[in-house]
Amino acid sequence: MPTAFKYNDYVIQKNKGVHNWSSHTFKLFLSATLPLATHTMLSQAAQLATSGTGYTGGAGGGVALVIPLAVQESPAGTALVAANQVVITAAGAAIGPFRYYGIYNDSATSPADALVMWWDHGSNVTLNDGDSFTVKFNNTTPGTIFTDA
């Protein structure tokens, strides 16, 4: 199971109102370069370049998350954010290699494309034409991306 890490700036930006899980567009991006917890914007995360029609890289790139449970409160005073699984399929060209995937807020403008968190898959992945890669948060769909206490 991939290991999850948060970007330090996410907590600061969340408390400044930059992130709204109910109305903003959040996207999953792929990277071959180890992200750093000190990164704040997608441009620092070395996202993969566009590859065929299976993955679009660069600013505004990545795959939009479907967030059916934007913020679900619990009686224990915690909130969770969940998203449906993401499937990336190489079409027309290979995608990768990549080892890391992360989430950023495509709606954020200051900082632009604010980073949220990333996962280390543990080894490099290359998708040949027709191959797919599935991300299931918390190994279910919809799956919990994180719980906020």
Give the type of residue at 137: F
pLDDT at residue 140 in the model: 83
pLDDT at residue 98 in the model: 95
Nearest one of 105, 83, 98, 106 to 133, comparing CA atoms: 98
Q: Which domain holds residue 51?
A: 3-148
pLDDT at residue 73 in the model: 64
pLDDT at residue 128 in the model: 95
Task: Provide the 3-class DSSP secondary structure of residue 42.
Answer: helix
Phi, psi of 134 (to 5 degrees): -115, 130
pLDDT at residue 53 in the model: 81
Q: How many CA atoms lie within 13 A of 14 on its CB side?
A: 13
pLDDT at residue 57 in the model: 84
What dihedral do alpha carbons 43, 103, 90, 56 form, nearest 10°?
-40
Nearest one of 136, 42, 29 to 82, comparing CA atoms: 136
Q: How many domains is the chain built from?
A: 1
pLDDT at residue 84 in the model: 92
pLDDT means per 10 residues, the chain with 149 residues, are 88 90 92 95 90 81 82 69 92 93 94 94 95 91 81
